[in-house]
Amino acid sequence: MVIGIDYDGTITLAPDFWLEFINAAMNEGNKVIIVTGREASQPIKVHGIPVVYAGDTFKREAAENEGYFVDVWIDDEPGHIEPCRKLEWK
């Protein structure tokens, strides 16, 4: 399973908790990546965990452009992951 975790407003609120979560997830054989709305010019340093910089792009698209197909998202602002298909009217 690939787990995508937001940085600002998620990991930053409880870094020790999320580091423990990330280590447990990876020990179980999962892939964990950080997907942030930051630009690459505002780097995040988290040892051993890939970071995807989405900038103005939806996070799912940015991750997939980097070759990561996230199964589970953890984000305090899920509207940045992708357009909300459930709420779109046809």
Query: d(Cα 42, Cα 32) in Å, to the nearest integer?
Result: 20
Determine the pLDDT at residue 88: 58
Mind listing the pLDDT tens digit for each residue in 35-70? 999 999 999 988 889 999 999 999 999 999 999 999
Written as one string, the DSSP assignment of the chain is -EEEE-TTTTGGGSHHHHHHHHHHHHHTT-EEEEEESS-TTS----TTS-EEE-TTS-HHHHHHHTT---SEEE-S-GGGTS--GGG---
Confidence of residue 89 (pLDDT cuts 50, 70, 90): low
Q: Degrees (nearest 5) of the Cα angle 4, 11, 74? A: 35
pTM of the model: 0.90
Determine the pLDDT at residue 17: 97
Residue with tokens 């910089």: 53
